[in-house]
């Protein structure tokens, strides 16, 4: 919309309306005086100019409702001035009324209209006609100005409504945000991008007993304060989040451990517009975790002492039974069977005690390996021979497929333990069906496979059976502590190898162990890392 210059009209009429400017340009002072007299009115502000240049200066300063121009002026004549007036955006629409004393020369008339004159009057002007013509322009100008002002008012009203609505939305958002922050059990605070606090939720005031919104650092324990301050300063500088654990002072002057998390809040262009911080109370959790660690340590110490104490008389008993077995070699069948059964049970008891001893060791230290070169196939055949009786008693046919030599560098006793654990499980869970053991090699590694046709293992349980104390079968049907496979895996991994199982319920299980041929290259002697799984 064209702005008709109401803003530059500062003079005010008696009835409160603003005066309307009319520019009168004529080189003859006498003619100007006549024009001024004719057009004088309380609602008009008549601005006079005796040269084209002076008229232009006035036009630069303000807007006019109409311009009355004398055609014949020295220097810049009325036509040139009209051309300049039209070329300026601000005055391009201002009505121009030409005055001439030359009479109605038709060429001059055409030129005047071509320059956008709205009318043409001859001197001496008829006062009534001039007043009437200028009056029409003034009316138009005022109408324009009123329309413009009304439009401005409407726009203003619309702007104010929109601002109110936006403020409403903002307030609703803030209220919801604060309600949410008040509803959660954590402490929540916000700060502006300089780090100055802007909000603390209810929990902050409940916990700290603080009044007013001060910096969150006031509640941090003096020991953690320097770290918190440093991390906060760095976060403010880099716009990066941080997390730390610190004690916070409660209203009763006690301290509780909290997880402190501070995150930058980002604007649409990714710039940091503020900060959000939370404190989560970890006190109970940390105390329980301490307590739990202590309980585990006590358990492991007990296991270690108990299994040591049990191992000593058991070793003596084994020696005694071994010599008793030799002594009764020629004795009657019944006696021999009883002695070998006693020996078998004692062996089994020894194995259980050994497992307990291993477990207590594995939780505190690495597993030491005594590496030597030996033939895995030969070892597997030996263990198979020793298991013959146990397998027979369980009704399982034991097939050992280990004809070819598979020489490697491993810990003989530990690998025997692996084989024993897998075979005894195959016998225990094998439902009296055949058991097949195979030794082979693949990709430069030795492979030991133990396959049974027993109860099998569901796929969702196949990972956890290698963890400590994990048992699937009910204790009343199958004894065991759930330690054998954990120890087996630990030994295999200590050699740099891996163990896996393929099975499905009712279809038996196949355990495959892969060992690098030279364990030394993978794990230096005596420094094998054992996972401290809890």
Q: How far, in whole angstroms, is CA 405 from its chain's centroid?
A: 56
Q: Does 367 bind ligand ADP (CB under 6 A)?
A: no
Report residue 148 as tokens: 């413009």
Segment interacting with ligand ADP (CB under 6 A) among 34-42, 114-122, 234-242, 420-428: 420-428
- Single out the residue of 207, 257, 279, 429 in contact with ligand ADP (rule: CB under 6 A): 429
Kindly give, in sequence order, each residue whose CB lies less than 8 Å from that of residue 477, ignoring residues fewer than 6 positions away. none
Q: Does 78 bind ligand ADP (CB under 6 A)?
A: no
Kindly give, in sequence order, each residue whose CB lies less than 8 Å from that of residue 150, ignoring residues fewer than 6 positions away. none
Q: DSSP class of residue 468?
A: T
- Single out the residue of 56, 449, 480, 520 in contact with ligand ADP (rule: CB under 6 A): 480
**C-beta of residue 61 within 8 angstroms of C-beta of residue 10:** no
Of the pair 54, 467, the CB lying nearest ligand ADP is at: 467
Site string for ligand ADP, 370-409 (x = CB under 6 A): ----------------------------------------
- Single out the residue of 470, 512, 520, 522 in contact with ligand ADP (rule: CB under 6 A): 470
Kindly give, in sequence order, each residue whose CB lies less than 8 Å from that of residue 224, ignoring residues fewer than 6 positions away. 244, 245, 246, 247
* Bridge partners (DSSP) listed for residue 442: 445
Q: Does 351 bind ligand ADP (CB under 6 A)?
A: no
Q: DSSP class of residue 317?
A: H
- Single out the residue of 482, 498, 502, 522 in contact with ligand ADP (rule: CB under 6 A): 482
| Minimum distance of ligand ADP from residue 495's CB (angstroms) | 18
Of the pair 251, 505, the CB lying nearest ligand ADP is at: 505
List the one residue out of 482, 478, 447, 475 whose CA is nearest residue 461.
482
Within 10 Å of residue 45's Cβ, how many Cβ atoms?
19
| Minimum distance of ligand ADP from residue 342's CB (angstroms) | 22
Segment interacting with ligand ADP (CB under 6 A) among 181-189, 272-280, 342-350, 473-481: 473-481
Residue 351 burial (CB < 10 Å; 0-12/13-18/19+)? middle
Segment interacting with ligand ADP (CB under 6 A) among 182-190, 223-231, 423-431, 439-447: 423-431
Q: Does 357 bind ligand ADP (CB under 6 A)?
A: no
Report residue 45 as tokens: 């502000």
Segment interacting with ligand ADP (CB under 6 A) among 2-10, 183-191, 230-238, 452-460: 452-460
Q: Does 491 bind ligand ADP (CB under 6 A)?
A: no
Report residue 219 as tokens: 């509640």
Kindly give, in sequence order, each residue whose CB lies less than 8 Å from that of residue 274, ignoring residues fewer than 6 positions away. 190, 191, 192, 193, 198, 264, 265
Q: Does 135 bind ligand ADP (CB under 6 A)?
A: no
Segment interacting with ligand ADP (CB under 6 A) among 42-50, 125-133, 438-446, 477-485: 477-485
**C-beta of residue 416 within 8 angstroms of C-beta of residue 383:** yes
Q: Does 481 bind ligand ADP (CB under 6 A)?
A: yes
Q: DSSP class of residue 7?
A: G
Q: Does 483 bind ligand ADP (CB under 6 A)?
A: yes
Q: Does 454 bind ligand ADP (CB under 6 A)?
A: yes
| Minimum distance of ligand ADP from residue 406's CB (angstroms) | 23
**Do the strands 509-516 and 498-503 form a parallel or antiparallel pair, or are they unpaired?**
antiparallel
Of the pair 503, 528, the CB lying nearest ligand ADP is at: 503
Restricting to residues 261-280, which ones interact with ligand ADP according to CB under 6 A? Answer: none
Q: Does 502 bind ligand ADP (CB under 6 A)?
A: no
Q: How far, in whole angstroms, is CA 280 from its chain's centroid?
A: 17
| Minimum distance of ligand ADP from residue 426's CB (angstroms) | 5
Q: Does 353 bind ligand ADP (CB under 6 A)?
A: no
Q: Where are the alpha helices (DSSP H) in 189-332?
A: 202-208, 225-238, 283-327
Of the pair 410, 486, the CB lying nearest ligand ADP is at: 486
Q: How far, in whole angstroms, is CA 334 from its chain's centroid?
A: 74
Residue with tokens 């990709």: 443
Residue 123 burial (CB < 10 Å; 0-12/13-18/19+)? middle
Binding site residues, ligand ADP, CB under 6 A:
421, 425-426, 429, 452, 454-457, 465, 470-473, 480-486, 509
């Amino acid at each position: 919309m064209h702005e008709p210059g109401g803003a530059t009209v500062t003079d005010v009429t008696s009835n409160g309306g603003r005066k309307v400017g009319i520019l009168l340009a004529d080189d003859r002072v006498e003619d100007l005086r006549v024009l001024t007299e004719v057009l004088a009115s309380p609602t008009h502000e008549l601005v006079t100019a005796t040269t084209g240049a002076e008229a232009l200066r006035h036009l630069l300063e303000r807007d006019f409702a109409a311009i009355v121009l004398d055609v014949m002026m020295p220097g810049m004549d009325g036509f040139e001035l009209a051309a300049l007036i039209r070329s300026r955006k601000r005055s391009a629409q201002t009505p121009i009324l030409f005055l001439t004393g030359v009479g109605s020369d038709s060429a001059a008339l055409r030129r005047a209209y071509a320059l956008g004159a709205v009318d043409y009057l001859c001197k001496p002007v008829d006062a009534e006609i001039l007043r009437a013509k200028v009056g029409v322009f003034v009316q138009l100008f005022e109408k324009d100005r009123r329309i413009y002002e009304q439009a401005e008012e409407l726009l203003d009203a619309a702007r104010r409504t929109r601002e109110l609505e936006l403020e409403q939305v903002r307030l609703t958002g803030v209220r919801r945000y604060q309600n949410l922050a008040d509803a959660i059990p954590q402490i929540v605070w916000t700060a502006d991008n300089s780090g100055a606090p802007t909000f603390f939720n209810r929990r902050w005031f409940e916990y700290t007993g603080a009044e007013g919104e001060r910096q969150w650092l006031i509640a941090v324990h003096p020991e953690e304060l320097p770290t918190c301050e440093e991390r906060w300063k760095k976060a403010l500088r880099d716009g990066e989040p941080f997390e730390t654990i610190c004690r916070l002072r409660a209203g009763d002057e006690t301290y509780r451990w909290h997880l402190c998390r501070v995150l930058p809040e980002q604007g649409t262009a990714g710039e940091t517009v503020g900060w959000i911080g939370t404190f989560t109370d970890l006190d109970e959790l940390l105390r329980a975790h301490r307590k739990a660690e202590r309980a585990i340590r006590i358990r492991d110490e007990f296991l270690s002492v108990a299994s040591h104490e049990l191992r000593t008389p058991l070793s003596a008993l084994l020696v005694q039974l071994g010599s008793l077995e030799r002594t009764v070699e020629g004795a009657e069948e019944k006696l021999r069977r009883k002695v070998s059964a006693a020996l078998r049970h004692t062996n089994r008891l020894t194995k259980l005690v050994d497992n307990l001893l291993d477990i207590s060791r594995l939780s505190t230290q690495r597993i030491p390996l005594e590496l030597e070169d030996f033939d895995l196939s030969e070892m597997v055949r030996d263990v198979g021979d020793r298991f013959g009786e146990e397998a027979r008693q369980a009704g399982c046919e034991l097939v050992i497929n280990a004809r070819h030599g598979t020489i490697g560098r491993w810990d003989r006793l530990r690998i025997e333990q692996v084989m024993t654990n897998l075979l005894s499980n195959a016998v225990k869970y094998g439902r009296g069906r055949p058991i097949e053991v195979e030794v082979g090699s693949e990709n430069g590694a030795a492979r030991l496979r133990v396959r049974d046709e027993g109860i099998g293992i569901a796929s969702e349980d196949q990972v956890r059976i290698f963890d400590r104390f994990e048992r699937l079968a009910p204790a009343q049907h199958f004894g065991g502590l759930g330690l054998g496979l954990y120890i087996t895996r630990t030994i295999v991994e200590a050699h740099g190898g891996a163990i896996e199982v393929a099975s499905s319920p009712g279809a038996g299980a196949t355990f495959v162990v892969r060992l690098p041929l030279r364990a030394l290259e993978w794990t230096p002697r005596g420094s094998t890392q054992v996972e401290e799984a809890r």
